[in-house]
A and B are shown apart, each in its own frame.
Chain A
Amino acid sequence: MTGTPLLAVEALVKHFRLGHGRTVKAVNGIAFQIERGEALAVVGESGSGKTTVGRCVLRLIEPTSGAISFRGEDILAMTAEQFRARRRHLQLVFQEPYDSLNPRMRIGRILNEPLMLAGRGAPAVRVSRVHDLLDMVGLGRSFIDLYPHQLSGGEQQRVGIARAIATDPDLVVLDEPTSALDVSVRAEILDLLVDLQARLGFAYLFISHDLTAVRRVCQRVAVMYLGRIVETARTDDIFERPLHPYSRALLSSVLYPDPTREQERFLLTGEIPSPIDLPPGCSLYARCPWARPACDQSVPPLEALLPDRDVACFRAREENGIGTR
């Protein structure tokens, strides 16, 4: 809130050209900010564009338009070379624990790579740093000589996390870090992420389709649908009272491991439309139980319905009983 935010994304757009004049409109005007040490979740299902946002922030994909500033610098204006020097401050944890590790490299070498590329001191210094990293993620030093296929999924993901924090980044983008893991391991990894953040003070951009997974880690949530943010809120607030119909549907679709838990199911009908043919108005129009004809006329803007609560829905105010002010 005070000073420049660590990451500021404005009017981010990414369209993929498919040929035959068709474009996949993956991201259609996103804006958000992350302060130092904060954890923001971007939640959405397939086609929401959340993965693309993450890749754009890391410049692994070049945005079609928009502005991204990191540590006060406009990173889209830099050349690839200039940005490469800054990559050590911006890291990524992948969704697939095994595929994100080079199958022919031992763990020690995998962890050494970012240190070497960042020019982190003599080999001895790096070895000791690798040991520290393994300790930090709860793996023993014996892991240095192992190959990725010799590790379990949870252990592989810990290595992925260790690699991401190796260069003391300011921002770690987490791309569905627990989706591919077994349930019994998920909570541990989430706890580890919380721990590391408390100790080392970096910020998180947590991308996920699972609202419950982000609950442990993030203070704020942005819900995406078909390339736009439809609601932003503090995590606790959105769990307590989701205002946007899509957020409500997402939350009510969670199957808690408790058969006695009564949940009012707020159901959306139909399928998620294709990001190639976006409707002219609100993208949820065809599936939304609150829809009125007016909703199909124009795209609802993201506006603050309550303090710290932005919602993009024409009907939200009325359906949630919030007075106009």
Chain B
Amino acid sequence: MTVRALHAAAAEARNLVRFSRGRPGFLFGLGVVALTIFLAILGPRLAPYGPEEALPGVANLPPNHEHWMGTDISGMDVFSRVIAAPRIDLTIALVSTAAAFAGGVVLGVISGFFAGGHGIWGRLSSTIVRGADIFQAFPVFIFALALVGFRGPSIQNVIVALAFLNIPFFLRLTRGAVLHMRERPFVEAARCMGGSGLRIAFVHVMPNALTPALANLSPTIGFSILLASALSFVGAGVPIPTPEWGSMIAIGAPNMMTGQWWTALFPGLALGLTILGYALVGDGFRYYLDPVNRR
């Protein structure tokens, strides 16, 4: 069993390598993803200065030999903070996206498979969809701010806010795929075999309906980083000294007026490149996962 799995993994890896050739965007994206993961693991260790350490007497220094990206208004080294931030951002993005994926897919399968039904499950399905509608109509910022108002700024709050935000997204993607799949003969065949609704929904239909959600994992991770930064920017995100690109931009933005461009520019660049990289990977994967292009 595991031997077969290893063979399959090796074949996939080979496919991926072949796929990446001639696709510079995808390679760039992969590079960005790899770099952010690397920094998430080792970033704080590699930082020349403590990411939350306010060094005395070196505030607002432009980029120089000792501080490659300069220092901010509190005397913290920008470079150290820029490379330490991925740990926070990636953690937030990965955890919230994983939670949104899991929740969204399950709800999407249920609401898709039982859509239009008459019994309890049918009503549950419509309720879920209505709920998603309401959620999506609700401005995420208000929701996040409300959470922060209740419980104070923290990484956990950001994760929860983002997870809730992204559930309807994965829900709709999966629901659409499920609605499509459930008309296929093999689903009817499963009914004929005596399968119960839930079993057919999760054992037969779900594996075939995951592709849209999977293809959108990477871009959602990138987008979540952006959102977390936006939340921090308005003060509803991570608490102040925590290195996080968005909050760094927030701190540095007023400085741009007075000519200290480095405190906001570097984290802004990092943020932009990261999101681009994740989106390109997502694009590539969407194309790669399409069964038409396989084999």
A87, B196: Cβ atoms under 8 Å? no
Q: Contacts of B188 on A, CB cut-off 8 Å? A: 60, 92, 94, 100
* A88 close to B (CB within 8 Å): yes
**Could you tell me the distance in whole angstroms from the C-beta of B246 to the nearest C-beta in chain A?**
40
**Could you tell me the distance in whole angstroms from the C-beta of A179 to the nearest C-beta in chain B?**
13
Residue of A nearest to B188 (CB): A60
**Could you tell me the distance in whole angstroms from the C-beta of A130 to the nearest C-beta in chain B?**
14
Residue of A nearest to B210 (CB): A104
Task: Given A91-B192, A117-B193, check contact A96 B207 (CB 8 Å).
Answer: no
Task: Given A60-B188, A100-B185, A100-B186, check contact A84 B208 (CB 8 Å).
Answer: no
B interface secondary structure, majority: helix
Interface residues in B, total, Cβ within 8 A: 17
Task: Given A85-B194, A87-B194, check contact A92 B208 (CB 8 Å).
Answer: no
**Could you tell me the distance in whole angstroms from the C-beta of B4 to the nearest C-beta in chain A?**
8
* B184 close to A (CB within 8 Å): yes
B186, A92: Cβ atoms under 8 Å? no
Q: With the chains together, A99 CA to B207 CA distance in Å?
A: 15
Q: Contacts of B193 on A, CB cut-off 8 Å? A: 87-88, 113-114, 117, 163
Residue of B nearest to A160 (CB): B189
**Could you tell me the distance in whole angstroms from the C-beta of A246 to the nearest C-beta in chain B?**
29
Q: With the chains together, A149 CA to B292 CA distance in Å?
A: 12
Q: Contacts of B219 on A, CB cut-off 8 Å? A: none
Q: Mark A203-235, 1 if CB is under 8 A from B, else 0.
A: 000000000000000000000000000000000
Q: Contacts of B208 on A, CB cut-off 8 Å? A: 102-104
* B191 close to A (CB within 8 Å): yes
Q: With the chains together, A60 CA to B185 CA distance in Å?
A: 12
* B195 close to A (CB within 8 Å): yes
Task: Given A94-B189, A99-B186, check contact A104 B194 (CB 8 Å).
Answer: no
**Could you tell me the distance in whole angstroms from the C-beta of A181 to the nearest C-beta in chain B?**
15
Q: With the chains together, A84 CA to B184 CA distance in Å?
A: 20
* A118 close to B (CB within 8 Å): yes
Residue of B nearest to A119 (CB): B194
B190, A113: Cβ atoms under 8 Å? yes
**Could you tell me the distance in whole angstroms from the C-beta of A108 to the nearest C-beta in chain B?**
12
Residue of A nearest to B119 (CB): A80
* A196 close to B (CB within 8 Å): no
A104, B189: Cβ atoms under 8 Å? no
Q: With the chains together, A179 CA to B186 CA distance in Å?
A: 17
Task: Given A84-B196, A102-B204, A104-B207, check contact A163 B191 (CB 8 Å).
Answer: no
A sample of 10 cross-chain residue pairs with beta-carbon separation below 8 angstroms, ordered by A number, consists of A60-B188, A87-B194, A92-B189, A92-B192, A94-B188, A96-B185, A99-B185, A102-B190, A114-B193, A117-B193
Which B residues are closer than 8 A to A by beta carbons?
A: 184-186, 188-196, 204, 207-208, 291, 295
With A94-B185, A117-B193 known, 12 other A-B pairs at CB within 8 A are A85-B194, A87-B193, A88-B193, A92-B188, A92-B192, A94-B189, A95-B185, A100-B188, A100-B189, A101-B186, A102-B208, A103-B208
